[in-house]
Amino acid sequence: MSSVGTPDPNSGWLSEEELVEARRRLPLLYVEAIPVRVDGLGRVTEVGMLLRASEEGAITRTLVSGRVMYGETLRDALFRHLEKDLGPMAFPLLPASPLPFSVAEYFPWPVESKYTDSRQHAVAMAYVVPVTGTCDPRQDALELTWMTPKQAVSSSIVADMEGGRGALVHAALASVGVLP
């Protein structure tokens, strides 16, 4: 006979050992967000890029990104990671539809895709998300830099981005009509 109780609110979390094993055996689902500032007509005027130190000690540029937990909606995961990386006063305007502008597939080896992640095979739903508030990077982000769309896809910025995310930024800006 089973007993009825309150479900564990953190049941979607894995221990470090469980995560390593899952990454070895399964593709994991992620959300990625390209934070943007828009003008009064909804045109993208700035793109936010996070600056982080990699595990190897290199300084890299990246996007808001993180796993979707078991039982969590894409919208909730997106909001959680935006708040975690940009701070509680960022005020993201989540899309009305959970339809991403792109689905990026990351492989631990560079031959299958333009996107790589040495830790795992992962699938990321990618969104362009306007933010209207004050961003105060948290967690492992050193800073958030706002730049023009042209700067965001410049060769020097793309070279600093990890795992092919420069191509994802280019696709994001093309999806909102900023780039061809």
DSSP 119-133: T--EEEEEEEEEB-S
Q: What is the pLDDT of residue 104?
A: 95
Domains of the chain: 20-175 (3.90.79.10)
- Judged on CB neighbours under 10 Å (0-12, 13-18, 19+), 48 is buried
Give 22-81 pLDDT, tens digit per residue.
Answer: 778 888 999 999 999 999 999 999 999 999 987 788 889 999 999 999 899 999 999 999
- Is the model's pLDDT at 133 over the cut of 50? yes
Give the mean model confidence (pLDDT) for residues 140-162: 93
Provide the pLDDT confidence category of residue 10 given band limits of 50, 70 and 90.
Answer: low
Q: What percent of the chain has pLDDT over 70?
A: 92
Picking from 5-14, 73-82, 133-142, which range would have the lowest pLDDT averaged per residue?
A: 5-14
Count of other CB atoms within 10 angstroms of residue 15: 8
- Is the model's pLDDT at 157 over the cut of 90? yes
DSSP for 38-96, please give it: E-TTS-EEEEEEEEEE-TTS-EEEE-EEEEPPTT--HHHHHHHHHHHHH-TTS-B---S
- Is the model's pLDDT at 7 over the cut of 50? no
